[in-house]
A and B are shown apart, each in its own frame.
Chain A
Amino acid sequence: MLYREAGDFKTSYASDSQTFPIRFDRWRYWAVVAVAFGVIPFVIDDYWANAVAVPFLIYAIAAIGLNILTGYCGQVSLGTGGFMAVGAYACYKLMTAFPEVSVLIHVLLAGGVTALVGVLFGLPSLRIKGFYLAVATLAAQFFLVWLFNKVPWFYNYSASGQITVPERTILGVAVTGANTPAWAKYLFCLVLLFVLAWVARNLTRGSVGRKWMAIRDMDIAAEIIGVNPLTTKLSAFAVSSFYIGIAGALFFAVYLGAVEVGEAFGIQKSFVVLFMIIIGGLGSIFGSFAGAAFLVLLPVLLKNVLVGQLGWATDLAAHVELMIVGGLIVAFLIYEPHGIAQLWKLAKEKLRLWPFPH
């Protein structure tokens, strides 16, 4: 009954272009925000933080980033893992070189460094499109992983070749390192995700977003209305890589703590994030959240049900997971390229008209 547009008239263009035009959606949004900030930090424990909450928050940032490039601007990338590695290593180098500077600054700067690298690897996108661009980004993926393995300067000449995060605090509370409480990890990532998602929403609803989508939908027509393809594509690469770099920095500094580049940021990372936006919904911020939640929760759920309750072998459960994800990818690509976000929207449209479907 609450879910109605009727009687909810818009009196200005600003209110017409707001994020949640329907009042009930706005309430639900604020409820989620209130729970995320006001409840979860007080109840979260190490298991939930490490198995679900922190990876979800970090993957959501990465998925928003890739969605900006692929979903909004139409440039397919398989280099996400490599760009996350850039963020992680940039963060590591900054943290160890300038220990007195806040880790928050380091994480943001790591995003900035990744943005520059992303622009560099985005340059070929002016000439090559689609499949060929995907292959070029794949090359970037392998090159970056190779680079971080090969050049000892990146891992400060450590014997293991790994990078290990030093402990850093914000307002006296550890946010990186072994002594970090679960709620601090969670809150640190949550704040960044919250701000970054809001910024992504702002960018995609304004003229920048329209330029990206114009290039995605028909680059020739975009050029004819005055969109410069080079700067537009490069801005998408820059913003996207900024997000992915921050995700990589958090993945290393907050989530894993110690990283071996090929293992943490290999090609499978690129695919996981790509699958998230395909399942969640290309060209949708909400879809990035949904896809990240889905692919983080699915293995946890399967492990608990199949291994924990039914007593299956762990590797069998892992194979089942791969099959489910593979099947879903194919199904979504064929039947619903806009993913869970579109299914959700359709469900809401039905609900809005209920009980009079016409």
Chain B
Amino acid sequence: MNAETPVEAIPTADDRKIGPVLMEMKHITLRFGGVKAITDISFDIREGEIRSIIGPNGAGKSSMLNVISGFYVPQEGEVWFRGARRPQMKPYQVARQGIARTFQNIALFDGMSVLDNIMTGRLTLMKTGLAAQSLWWGKAQREETEHREKVEKIIDFLEIQAIRKTPVGRLPYGLKKRVELARALAAEPMLLLLDEPMAGMNVEEKEDMCRFILDVNDEFGTTICLIEHDMGVVMDLSDRVVVMDYGKKIGDGTPDEVRGNQAVIDAYLGVAHD
């Protein structure tokens, strides 16, 4: 793929409102034994923006998302969220703060239908206890219906009505990615982390996914932090871009600024255009 990837007829990012800093990573260093996956990286994510992380394979991008979502605990550095330093948290606690994500290698629940998978996205929002649910009366049933309505909106939005009742194990790759996005959206997150949402897709599927990402950002005001390899896509979608190489940050700025940065051209863009 190159910069000419067709993503026209998509609302441009210009007139949207970018708010204050939502999340700030301060001097993060992450090691696995002797391997330094991330070395002293700082950057911030502002409310309402689409923030991308790019870099060659093994640069530490996924590790960075894992730090944000609480899977990896960095040896050094601080994570600040909504103006306060975040104490060390388990992934499920991070999720409950309003951070949802998708994985580079799809992580859906293969034994469940598409609908049930997406419904799991709302688990943090569902409050009826075990006792009320065991009777399936009043509150439990009402809650189920309410959340089902929300989930149906997401199903419509992502145009996956036809596969609602299909077990996810039977779906092709591109649709699985879409269902995983649906599950993340179902949580109505403040911050959405997407790890290579377009990897392995054909041009058409990529265009759809781009459109969904922009629409999510536009219509729901969701802040998005995105890892992507396709430079054309990244440059078109993003408000700001972080460039990583060998665990270090080598560039940070608007797509135009990053494109003009010599270190970035040497390390990444140059390679990509070979």
Contact = CB atoms under 8 A, between A and B. Distances in A.
Interface of A: 12-14, 17, 199, 202-203, 205-208, 210-211, 213-214, 216-218, 220-229, 235, 239, 283
Contact of A225 (B71, B100, B133): B100
Given A213-B116, A218-B109, A225 B144 contact: no
Given A207-B144, A218-B109, A226-B96, 12 more contacts: A202-B140, A207-B122, A207-B128, A214-B109, A216-B111, A220-B107, A223-B90, A223-B91, A223-B95, A224-B91, A225-B92, A225-B187
A225 B183 contact: yes
A189 B123 CA distance: 35
B136 A206 contact: yes
A210 B107 CA distance: 15
Given A202-B133, A202-B136, A225 B69 contact: no
A214 B122 CA distance: 12
Interface residues of B, number: 41
A325 to B, nearest CB: 26
B170 to A, nearest CB: 14
B116 A208 contact: no
Main secondary structure of the interface of A (DSSP, over half): helix
Contacts, number: 109
Nearest to A213: B112
Contacts of A222: 109, 120
Given A14-B145, A17-B148, A206-B136, A221 B109 contact: yes
A239 B133 CA distance: 13
B124 A199 contact: no
A224 B95 contact: yes
Given A203-B130, A208-B133, A217 B92 contact: no
Contacts of A220: 71, 91, 107
Nearest to A216: B111
B160 to A, nearest CB: 16
Nearest to B90: A223
A207 B92 contact: no
Contacts of A206: 128, 133, 136, 140, 144
Contacts of B126: 207
